[in-house]
Amino acid sequence: MTPTSADLLQQWLQDLERKGRSVHTLAAYRRGLQHFIEWNKRVYDAEFDPAATIPRDVRDWKSYQQTVEKAAPATINQRLVALSRFFSWATSKGLAKDDPTVEVGSLRLPARQPKGLSDKDLRKLLRAAKAGGNLRDYAMIELLAGTGLRVGELLSLRVGDITLGERSGTVTVRQGKHGNFRTVPLTLDVRKALEAYLQNRSGDNDPEAALWTGMHGDLSHRSSVLRILDKYTQQAGIDAIGPHALRHTFATRYLNANPGDLRGLAALLGHSSLNTVMVYTEPNLGDLAERMERIDRTGRSNR
């Protein structure tokens, strides 16, 4: 018996699940393929057949999303990825002879700067944490905002990874992303916050002891940091953020103070490629509007 579109969808997703794909990925793939199946049924008034699908179908479906649905480019690209993954599977199973998605490219997305905090909101957050009186929370937020550490790197820190001197200090990330090692200098404000925390920290100050501790032991889960940030963003009266927003905040502030120093920023953030930090140099719409205004001002001044 020929499998129905629902059968095919279920078989494909089960195969992906066995290969360890995440729940979120499976849900996105399900939505993408279902969208194509429903469109296919409306157009041809027939059951979806992978073997009968041609590249023109994929192009027409893509065009329909752009012109009729007016779907966001990111949504269209996500659906195209799902369809491409499905046909890769379908051809491997002999359900289709060719992959009709190969000739259909994704939409080019506008470069988007990662979202961080404005200087004003960062000050509000730090003031709220300082006023809260919890030295650990304040030191943690100062360290995230002042170094751009990833949350996993933050939680992996040991007491001995912090070096504090009278005029300088560093934090050592022993195993960052891809196993990379790096040492990041600490500013005065970060050093002061860490020094106060370490002097009053409960528990073992052995260099190998976990840096961050709580009432129930060492902090090791991202959720702990999220709860801390949620608490102080509410008190500060600003939008909720995750720890990665403080990484973006650090990167943006660093480049504002050191324009063009992508190599330095990449080293501090633990990136091996400059392409990864190029995103922080992309102008936003406000920047472009201001640059357009400069054209007119320059033209008027030359008359």
Task: Answer yes or no: 150 catalytic.
Answer: yes
List 31, 177, 221, 263, catalytic entry = 177
Task: Answer yes or no: 201 catalytic.
Answer: no
Task: Answer yes or no: 271 catalytic.
Answer: yes
| Torsion, CA 255, CA 260, CA 263, CA 268, rounded to 10 | -10
Task: Answer yes or no: 294 catalytic.
Answer: no
Distance CA 30, CA 35 (A): 9
Task: Answer yes or no: 178 catalytic.
Answer: no
Task: Answer yes or no: 177 catalytic.
Answer: yes
List 30, 130, 150, 174, catalytic entry = 150
How many angstroms separate the most distant Cα atoms in the chain? 79
Q: Which residues are catalytic?
A: 150, 177, 244, 247, 271, 280
